[in-house]
Amino acid sequence: MSAKRTLHEGWTVTGDPDAPVPVDGILASVPGEVVTDLLAADLIADPYVDDAERELAWVGRTDWTYRTAFTVDDADRDGVDLVFDGLDTVARVSLNGVVLGETANMHRRYRFDAREAVRHGANELEVAFTSPYTYAEAQRDRLGDRPNAYPEPGNFIRKAACNFGWDWGPNLAGVGIWRPVRLETWRTARIDEVVPRTALEDGTGVVAFSVRLQKAADADVDLVCSVGPHQTTVRLNAGAETADVRVEVPDARLWWPHDRGAQPLYDAAVTVRDGAEDLDSWTGRIGFRTAELDTAPDAEGRPYTLRINGEPVWVKGVNWIPDEALFSRIDPDRVERRLRQAIKAGVNYIRVWGGGVYESEDFYRRCDELGLLVGQDFPFACAAYPEEEPFWSEVEAEARDNLARLAPHPSLVTWTGNNENIWGWHDWDWRQDLGDRTWGAGYYHDLLPKLVAEVDGTRPYWPGSPYSGATELHPNEQAHASVHIWDVWNNDDYTRYRDWRPRFVAEFGYQAPPTWATVRRMVTDEPFQADSAAMLWHQKAADGQDKLQRGLDAHLPPVRDFDDWLYFTQVNQARAIRLGIEHFRSLQPYCTGSVVWQLNDCWPVTSWAAIDGEERLKPLWYALRDAYAKHSVSFQPDGDGGLNLVAVNDTAYPWHAVVGFWKCDVEGRILARALVTLHVDPRDALTLELEQGAIPVDGEFLITGPEDFPRATWFSKEDKDMDWPEARFEAVAEVVDGGVALTVTAATVLRDLCVFPDRLDPDAVVDKALVTLLPGERATFTVTSEAIAASPDLTLALTRRPVLRAVND
């Protein structure tokens, strides 16, 4: 049987002796990256705190050499291979002084034949990395510069674009052995690749295994392919190294996204045998489902409808970036926490954004098990990419590798060619700068669709995000397929989301700073100020602070201090995204999904994320949960001065309900009541026109009653113009198992009531946020925190500002 042995111990890393910080043989983590090694050795400051990132530019401009030693007891094998699941990025691999090969692509796996270099006994392994800047700038100089949204050469190296910094991320473009490395030994034959393609034929699950072997010599071997108890055996005669093997699974159960059904998974295996001896094996887990993308033109343009098992799915999505800027810190538990947070927010779809990486096995395995749909971008983002060699061959190799690697996962339902590059070519003044130089079109319209069809063949491909479906159309045309909406954040008030009538929104977002405890981690300025030097360093978006202030000026009262600024900006972010989602959901089935930018952060930063870089929930997360609820009611303007009530039912059953709503004055006195009977078909929306007398004017507002779905509101004025009474309430904190129950009883209107327990305990979590109450109503917030529960002073602090906040406090 083949043997696979990880080589993760005993590594050191050495840098250039003339670098600003000389590094000679410090301990190195594998998998890992040089920045975490330097941090562990106390040679650099934490790049996440204040502006320490600024001082680390030298790291990405330095060559680094990793070394380790290992022993081999039996080198007498037909095959001895060194296998790297990820090298970041430009490296020369040597064993005992023999160069095994060179790499120039972070996004693919490498296998090196080490049989002639390996020794019985002690062995020395070296991986020498060239600075990513040295390589990328040399390629840029050779091929000619190309446009990039950021002044970095990241489009001239097959490395995660966001490593070079983004408008939410740091520039920590280091190097490292970022995924596992191992020594593999084998006899006679080994399995080189397995691509299991699943299909359904009249209720029978069919798995077509495409298997490629590597043989040391001409030999007859048996190939055993199985799915659960069902198996097929074929003979590969001498000289044959590939086979297509069909295995049938009667009465296969369908895999569904978590909001549609169950996620049955089947154990699949491939074994190569020589007589009674097992030579090598491959295992994976598969699911049976179909994934289709309906983009056939209709009378109104072109839809973008995802169908799973033939059923259209309204995509309740979020965009995903690498969950840490230092990738080795992303362990399976962290991935699971983030995905579960997504599910609890009502999310059914995650788009893996093209400025990062092809996501990990841990990520896809948990999406399979949890029932999260995934759209994977190929890693191209916001830049023109050269198609000349070596890049064309590298892109082909990485695409083939990852299409095969990710093929087993039923959660993966779409492939997309790039992020914003086709849009950039149309609108970002690229063409004059490019002249006749390549920019990536050959990848998106030719190479990648061919490879998806050839290697995978079971999932749809779309050339770009956004893309309208035809080269003669503007790529961000809202009547055609997928769009990105960024004019709102960049130029307009967030109420302008309602001016859009898109078919599918693949990106839209609104910023806010992270939670208080995370701000305390990232900034040491005293006192806290929104425009302090360190806060501004952690605001990477162009004119970001000004855009935040524009939103505050349009909607909320003037801020009195940093606490107000932090709370109000977070409220504005949550309101903006909830308004957008509810508007897009009200347009179904014309609009088929919204994918919010973004779920997560990779470090502590002011950004568009719902979950900040320290894994804490911002108010936006709670707004996502409300906006993506299975049953949702919202008030929507009709464009002619009228107002509609829109009810959305995202379940498989009819929704029959009676909705009560009230028209109130600024004091919270009920001026009129109404009851509406709802009958909403499964997976549908219902629009009801309100009578003119029900529409609030001159400081009045509408609010639904305490129903079993998120409360809907409609205000005739912005908070800054509402003559709200000063917030009065009674707050009582009671210690309960695992934390504190905080019950707030309103004596006045309380607008967007929030509790921020992280100000008292960084690990504390609250179960709800953004609650609006009328006089006499009450809400109970459950705070999970043993530290707060154990301290009477902290428990009391939950009942008052700045922990307990309302817009009108």
Q: Where are the alpha helices (DSSP H) in 638-766?
A: none
The token duo for 740 is: 């504190």
CA distance 146 to 153: 9
The answer to whether residues 228 and 277 belong to one domain is: yes
Helix (H, G, I), strand (E, B) or coil at 399: helix
Burial (CB count within 10 angstroms: exposed 0-12, middle 13-18, buried 19+), residue 264: middle
Q: pLDDT of 783-803, one tens digit each?
A: 999 999 999 999 999 999 999
Would residue 398 count as lying in a domain?
A: yes
The answer to whether residues 681 and 790 belong to one domain is: no
CA distance 806 to 809: 5
CA distance 8 to 14: 17
Helix (H, G, I), strand (E, B) or coil at 250: coil
Domain stops at, among 568, 595, 627: 627
CB-CB contact of 754 with 729 (8 Å): no
The answer to whether residues 223 and 75 belong to one domain is: no
CA distance 765 to 467: 39
Would residue 553 count as lying in a domain?
A: no
Band the pLDDT of 1: cuts 50, 70, 90: confident
CA distance 427 to 377: 21
Would residue 525 count as lying in a domain?
A: no
The answer to whether residues 587 and 640 belong to one domain is: no
Strand order in the sheet with 230-236: 230-236, 221-227, 266-274, 277-286
Q: Residue with structure tokens 């009530």? A: 645
Would residue 740 count as lying in a domain?
A: yes
CA distance 628 to 749: 25
Would residue 557 count as lying in a domain?
A: no
Classify residue 618 by its DSSP letter: P
CA distance 187 to 178: 29
Burial (CB count within 10 angstroms: exposed 0-12, middle 13-18, buried 19+), residue 200: middle
Q: Does position 75 have pLDDT exceeding 80, yes or no?
A: no
Instruction: Give the number of other CB atoms < 10 A from CB of residue 333.
Output: 9
Would residue 543 count as lying in a domain?
A: no
Report which secondary-structure segment, H or E, holds 395.
helix 391-406
Radius of gyration of the chain (CA): 28
Would residue 169 count as lying in a domain?
A: yes
The answer to whether residues 178 and 190 belong to one domain is: no
Average pLDDT estimate for 543-556: 98
The token duo for 339 is: 């995905």
Chain-centre distance for alpha carbon 307 = 21
3-class DSSP string for 484-553: EECHHHHHCCHHHHHHCCCCEEEEECCCECCCHHHHHHHCCCCCCCCCCHHHHHCECCCCHHHHHHHHHH
CA distance 531 to 537: 10
Which CATH number do you get for residue 211?
2.60.40.10
User: What pLDDT score does 153 carry?
Assistant: 98
The answer to whether residues 156 and 202 belong to one domain is: no
Classify residue 476 by its DSSP letter: T
Would residue 52 count as lying in a domain?
A: yes
CA distance 789 to 785: 6
The answer to whether residues 80 and 140 belong to one domain is: yes
User: What pLDDT score does 708 carry?
Assistant: 84
Instruction: Give the number of other CB atoms < 10 A from CB of residue 652.
Output: 11
CB-CB contact of 547 with 492 (8 Å): no
Which is it for the CA torsion 440, 445, 447, 448, positive or negative? positive
Domain stops at, among 655, 681, 715: 715
Band the pLDDT of 284: cuts 50, 70, 90: very high
Band the pLDDT of 2: cuts 50, 70, 90: confident
Q: Residue with structure tokens 């309100």? A: 690
Which CATH number do you get for residue 493?
3.20.20.80
Amino acid at position 217, single letter: A
- Determine phi and psi for 730, rounding to 5 degrees: -115, 130
Q: pLDDT of 677-719, one tens digit each?
A: 999 999 999 999 999 999 999 999 999 998 889 999 999 999 9
Q: Strand (E) positions, 640-738?
A: 643-649, 655-664, 670-680, 684-689, 701-704, 713-715, 729-736
CB-CB contact of 809 with 727 (8 Å): yes
User: What pLDDT score does 706 carry?
Assistant: 80
> Closest Cα to residue 86, out of 135, 158, 155, 16?
158
User: What pLDDT score does 766 carry?
Assistant: 98
Band the pLDDT of 83: cuts 50, 70, 90: very high
Average pLDDT estimate for 367-374: 98
CB-CB contact of 348 with 316 (8 Å): yes
The answer to whether residues 190 and 177 belong to one domain is: no
> Closest Cα to residue 757, out of 803, 805, 800?
803
pTM: 0.97
The residues facing 543 across adjacent strands are none
CA distance 63 to 608: 34
How many domains does the chain divide into?
A: 5
Q: Does position 74 have pLDDT exceeding 80, yes or no?
A: no
The token duo for 82 is: 């060194």
> Closest Cα to residue 88, out of 165, 17, 157?
157
The answer to whether residues 682 and 792 belong to one domain is: no
User: What pLDDT score does 217 carry?
Assistant: 83
What distances in angstroms separate CA 36 from CA 48, 113, 329, 355, one per listed residue?
12, 30, 9, 21
End-to-end CA distance of the chain: 70
Residues in Cβ contact with 569 at an 8 Å cutoff, skipping those fewer than 6 apart: 511, 512, 513, 548, 551, 552
User: What pLDDT score does 744 carry?
Assistant: 98
Which is it for the CA torsion 444, 450, 451, 452, positive or negative? positive
The answer to whether residues 46 and 140 belong to one domain is: yes
Domain stops at, among 236, 257, 286: 286
CA distance 730 to 744: 6
Which CATH number do you get for residue 130?
2.60.120.260
Domain interval for residue 650: 631-715
DSSP string, 431-462: HHHHTT---SHHIIIIIHHHHIIIII-SS-EE
CA distance 675 to 661: 7
Q: Is 39 left (phi over 0), alpha (psi -120 to 50) or beta?
A: alpha
Chain-centre distance for alpha carbon 155 = 21
The token duo for 131 is: 């600075």
Rounded (10°) angle between helices 562-586 and 544-555: 80
Could you check whether the bond before residue 598 is cis, i.e. omega within 30 degrees of 0? yes
CB-CB contact of 150 with 173 (8 Å): no
The answer to whether residues 161 and 252 belong to one domain is: no
CA distance 162 to 147: 16
User: What pLDDT score does 451 carry?
Assistant: 98
Mean pLDDT value across the chain:
97
Q: Does position 640 have pLDDT exceeding 90, yes or no?
A: no
Q: pLDDT of 762-784, one tens digit each?
A: 999 999 999 999 999 999 999 99
- Determine phi and psi for 751, rounding to 5 degrees: -100, 120
Chain-centre distance for alpha carbon 54 = 26
- Determine phi and psi for 48, rounding to 5 degrees: -90, -5
> Closest Cα to residue 690, out of 704, 669, 680?
704
The answer to whether residues 643 and 773 belong to one domain is: no
The token duo for 366 is: 């948990």
DSSP string, 592-605: -EEEES-S--SSS-
CB-CB contact of 649 with 631 (8 Å): yes
